[in-house]
């Protein structure tokens, strides 16, 4: 408890004033047992706080590890998908190249057959055979009918041509 004491002091040379001051009683020093108890209590509190921090850090580490595992799994899935797409594109490109090769071969064969046919057929022989053996004749001017198309690509025939 605090004790009330009165002290006198001089301020200047004229008047003497009094002031009441509260003075704390002298504190006794703690005993060795009290110090050891305080140290033990502080150590227990410190250990309890450390345990809480460790548990919180462990939860945080588990959460971060889970996030990292998910991120790595997603990255691996994306990489596998990318490699599959690349393989698919490469396969299709080789198939397209093979088809283009086949097309050029077929076109070359067609041109060769066309030129072979053109060289083996003689139009004068065909004309002689048609006139002499089959009795065909050239068309006369009254057999030729001219028609005009009015902006369309085809013409419909509704009657026989005389």
CA 41-44-47 angle, to 5 degrees, is 150
**pLDDT higher than 70, residue 155:** no
Bigger pLDDT: 17 vs 49:
49
List CB contacts of 59: < 8 A, sequence separation 6 or more. none
**pLDDT higher than 80, residue 125:** yes
Q: Which residues pair with 22 in a beta bridge?
A: 4
Bigger pLDDT: 16 vs 95:
95
Predicted TM-score (pTM) of this structure:
0.40
């Amino acid at each position: 408890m605090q004790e009330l004491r009165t002290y006198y002091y001089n301020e200047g040379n004229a008047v003497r004033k009094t002031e009441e001051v509260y003075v704390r009683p002298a504190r006794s020093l703690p005993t060795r047992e009290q110090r050891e108890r305080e140290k033990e209590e502080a150590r227990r509190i410190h250990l309890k706080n450390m345990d809480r921090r460790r548990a919180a850090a462990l939860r945080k580490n588990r959460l971060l590890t889970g996030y990292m595992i998910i991120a790595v799994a997603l990255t691996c899935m994306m990489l596998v998908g990318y490699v599959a797409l690349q393989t698919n594109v490469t396969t299709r490109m080789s198939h397209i190249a093979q088809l283009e090769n086949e097309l050029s071969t077929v076109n070359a064969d067609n041109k060769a057959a066309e030129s072979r046919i053109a060289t083996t057929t003689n139009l004068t022989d065909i004309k002689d055979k048609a006139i002499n053996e089959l009795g065909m004749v050239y068309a006369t001017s009254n057999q030729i009918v001219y028609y005009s198309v009015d902006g369309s690509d085809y013409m419909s025939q509704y009657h026989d041509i005389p």
